[in-house]
Chain A
Amino acid sequence: GIQVEQSPPDLILQEGANSTLRCNFSDSVNNLQWFHQNPWGQLINLFYIPSGTKQNGRLSATTVATERYSLLYISSSQTTDSGVYFCAVDGSGNTGKLIFGQGTTLQVKP
């Protein structure tokens, strides 16, 4: 099956710093999403981005489908950005069967 690898596994930032999270996947995918899991466990969808670039406030994401990777950019990080960031892909033909990466744990220090 399709493999999803995220890097780095852990990241510690000072408030105000920028960061880039990476997601590599082993096969072509129909869909790709980025999620944020906050410290209370709630999963929030950040981007649906099978290809191209999207921006939402301080967050942006780019997926290069031909090279099988996606990047999540966080600018001017805030303590509320702390948590785990997951990349998830669907390679099954649009059934929504997401395969999740292991996640990147981000800690933003004040």
Chain B
Amino acid sequence: KAGVTQTPRYLIKTRGQQVTLSCSPISGHRSVSWYQQTPGQGLQFLFEYFSETQRNKGNFPGRFSGRQFSNSRSEMNVSTLELGDSALYLCASSLGDRGSYGYTFGSGTRLTVV
């Protein structure tokens, strides 16, 4: 079966612009989480959605937002891009919100802000 699909794979944006990243979870998965990975900070949790509701949010500024659609696909948006937003953005999906359900990660979107 198809894995977690993230688009686009690579993106270059200019400071001040905004960007939208997309994530299509594994069919049947209802939980989608987003993570930011940078060399300095490692993997950091951004937010998690379950059945179109944001259930948990990490410690990121309000410029970072997201949403989940009825088909469980998710998007995250970053407005007023800063150089420090350059990172690998990873999406992970899970069947549900129980601890026994593992997460499957996508290959990520590498965002470069210049």
Do the two chains belong together in a single complex? no
* A contacts, CB < 8 Å to B: none
